[in-house]
A and B are shown apart, each in its own frame.
Chain A
């Protein structure tokens, strides 16, 4: 029984048989992260080329996307801000990734985020909707459909026991997490683990107490196939929303890893911080969800 089939069965059974709210229990994901994860760090101003080179070094998109697969690409589209303001993932990066996913033979690519500002404004002004429009019918930039949040048991959770998670994110054959690296008032930085909050339903504000551990708990049930951190521009202050170009630093960098903890740990160093300064990184590392020790990673650098 694969995960997809399991999910379908679980949904059908819970929908049909329980009077109480159906609660999804995901199979414990046993896959231990590799002991020394590969982290690809690319730099270059030509973003499509940069994405292509980083992905090639990470093993090629074909490694992650099987032909006909249902793929979710989850950028940060949280804010009604323009690309140069650095609050959302850069549209050119998202587009280049989606193109790679299509080239690998994906059957369908969904792009969505549960936004903080009004959703249409975010989708429009982030530039992401327009950037993906020409890519054809397989690519669907979708607004969040409130009907699709399902309760998921977080068996290994230390700070949460249940989360409401977007069904399409759980059911995808391949889930590509594409955060933008930026400053955040509480968690200091928002990176791969924080980006996963964009598939959570309910009152997300309530998660901010002990946020780092909760993000790690979330990572036990939502494990991206691949994490690609967009640090082409880095919002250094007044995050996560920004708005001032003075706060944005051009870095022209992209980081990719299967291990979200490793990717976050490396990205943290770009801000002059240590991996353990970020609570979510430390918490996820402690739970064995990934590696934050820079010496234990295989860091491969490419230049576009």
Chain B
């Protein structure tokens, strides 16, 4: 073939598109951070706003059009026209699975999907759940799993490992190594590493869920995409009746089943017909077909592939599960009396609406510059797992920061103006007088008061003469909380110098979004 320029294969374009999508995704992920401005220009939430599954869930839950999620409509319309191009050309999870494919070569042989019905059933379950009050889309949505796993586990672990290595070179290695390693570290700090190491609750669990998606590749290629992904299920249903279709093989093919054996989605049947419901337009078959029979074009296919037939029983069970389970979650104790330490981010909707909208993407936790927001485990119930809560001992809510609301893709956390944020009460601080030094030991301490960020301090002092632990009278300043000023940011608890349990702690008491939790000082009589 010397001298002949080979035409770039179509799969090369597809791979280029996947590569760009992945690069853009990582760029946005890194940029989901404070960059010196109170406004965040772009963040990885763009991805979630393109997700029709999450859009449908948010709107079903809110029983209203959620403007933030309207970009997802574009993906839906394009899918109707072109098929599941998104899964094959743009989805960062799919791109990562394809990229890491060489590491997870599964045994060849099985081409059909193991559980082809499952995505549609899960879709039915998730949508019914969203409508009736069981918010579980975030458990299964590929972007939620991906961003959460990266934000809560992979990225912090990467930061830790990198920093540990360069700490070792800095402290132990000779000067000539440092002459090489320090510029590299500096460049990494300036580009991909965050300013500070983050620590997260559920880091291991988040990583495990993400890892599971990759390990499932060992059973069959794109296992998650074809056997689990409810977003794929939704896009598949949309693509089913679309005008774009793949022309599969015909009688001329003889015994050749090359297309069928190469298909990563199990979309080509024994008769070499291509099911657009499953095809993600990766175009491997097109390039592989020895006789160039396979083609993609607009128009009705001569012999349409058999659609994935859902059993009526399965569908009913999924719908029933999604619509009946909410009745059970509604009667849990925590639905009446929420966990007192469940402190939601500033601007969060009232609890029920908040959980309905939250897609557990972890972006608020990624962007939180105080490392205050963490995923819940069971504090908000099984269905509320991975939703954000403030853990003040790990981090506090920065007074002048409004980033979590800005990156929330669904509006579960509202965008607050700085002025609104300054007055937004997410919880309330209480002193533990058995532990607080000026109360318990007669030892002066003022770290909480010093850090209290409200311009008129919510933590103040009373000058009191007490007995110290030698029974000598000493005059100390004892801190107390001014109920009308405390916003529950948690910096007092975070900075309290006591080891183990802090002497000042925040609870969700008095939070602005819940009138039932108002403080006694705000009561105007019974």
Contact = CB atoms under 8 A, between A and B. Distances in A.
A242 B195 CA distance: 26
Of A118, A238, A240, chain B has the most CB atoms within 10 Å of the CB of A118
A60 B66 CA distance: 64
Interface in A98-121: 116-121
Of B445, B447, B450, chain A has the most CB atoms within 10 Å of the CB of B450
A120 B369 contact: yes
Interface in A117-145: 117-121, 124-125, 143
Contact of B400 (A121, A143, A184, A244): A121
B167 A184 contact: no
25 contacts: A15-B171, A80-B398, A80-B399, A80-B400, A116-B451, A117-B399, A121-B401, A125-B400, A147-B163, A147-B167, A147-B171, A184-B450, A185-B449, A185-B461, A186-B445, A186-B446, A186-B449, A205-B447, A205-B495, A205-B496, A208-B445, A209-B437, A209-B443, A241-B450, A244-B456
Interface string A160-199: 0000000000000000000000001110000000000000
Interface string A200-244: 000101101100000000000000000000000000001011111
B401 to A, nearest CB: 7
A190 B170 CA distance: 34
A208 B167 contact: no
Contact of A203 (B369, B457, B497): B497
A186 B447 CA distance: 9
Interface in B149-172: 163, 166-167, 170-172
Interface in B80-124: none
Interface in A238-265: 238, 240-244
A208 B171 contact: no
A220 to B, nearest CB: 22
B446 A208 contact: yes
Interface of B: 34, 36, 163, 166-167, 170-172, 195-196, 369-370, 398-401, 437, 443-447, 449-457, 461, 477, 495-497
B180 to A, nearest CB: 16
Interface string A40-83: 00000000000000000000000000000000000000001000
Given A116-B495, A120-B34, A186-B445, 16 more contacts: A80-B453, A118-B34, A118-B401, A120-B36, A120-B195, A121-B400, A143-B195, A185-B477, A203-B497, A205-B445, A208-B444, A208-B447, A208-B497, A238-B456, A241-B452, A242-B455
Contacts of A117: 398-399, 453
B411 to A, nearest CB: 25
Looking at chain A's contact residues, the main secondary structure is: loop
A113 to B, nearest CB: 14
A221 B453 CA distance: 32
Nearest to B196: A119
Interface of A: 15, 80, 116-121, 124-125, 143, 147, 184-186, 203, 205-206, 208-209, 238, 240-244
Contacts of A143: 195
A243 B401 CA distance: 15
A209 B400 contact: no
Contacts of A206: 497
A143 B451 CA distance: 20
B167 to A, nearest CB: 5
Of A119, A184, A185, A238, chain B has the most CB atoms within 10 Å of the CB of A185
A185 B446 contact: yes
The 5 closest A-B pairs by CB, nearest first: A205-B497, A243-B455, A186-B446, A244-B455, A205-B447
A104 B470 CA distance: 56
A241 B453 contact: yes
Contacts of A243: 453-455
Given A80-B398, A205-B496, A206-B497, A185 B450 contact: yes
Contact of B170 (A80, A118, A147, A184): A147
Contacts of B167: 147
Contacts of B444: 186, 208-209
B161 to A, nearest CB: 15
B450 A240 contact: yes
A4 B404 CA distance: 46
A147 B171 CA distance: 8
A185 B449 CA distance: 7
B41 to A, nearest CB: 15
A197 B506 CA distance: 27
B172 A15 contact: yes
